[in-house]
Amino acid sequence: MESRNHMPRRAFLLTLAALAFGLGLPFAKPAAREGVVHALRKLMQGKVAAARYIGNSYLSEPRHRQRAMQTLDEFQRLGLNGPAEIAAHLQARRQRDFSRGAIFVQDGWVFADIEARICAILALA
């Protein structure tokens, strides 16, 4: 008769729990991202359709999707979860973007890069 090496039940359950916890960590990120997206929608107050239009245009450029997702991650990392917090951060970023020429032009309208990225986030949501 062959002898099998059985894993004790407790070790198996601890391993399974550790695996489940480890796999669950990446899924926490989308929930936090959704909180930022919700705050952005509130900040836009009824102008989400226009923002999505601008965002889709911004996303047609190479690498802009990646930049939008980096901005979403940055907001999350900075703990910018409310419309007022995001608005304060945007004011500083907007000024910085314009001063260094980081702009996006859509139908003759000139947007700071951060504004276009926010529109792209809303278009992706």
Segments making up each domain of the chain, as ranges: 30-124
- 69-84, pLDDT tens digit by residue? 999 999 989 988 889 9
Locate tokens 């190479």: which residue? 62
Q: For residue 60, what are the CA distances in angstroms to 25, 68, 101, 112?
A: 31, 12, 20, 17
Helix-then-strand count for the chain, H and E: 5, 2
pTM over 0.85: no
Distances (CA, A) of 69 to 46, 57, 102: 22, 16, 17
Residue-wise pLDDT tens digits, 83-123: 999 999 999 999 999 999 999 999 999 999 999 999 999 99
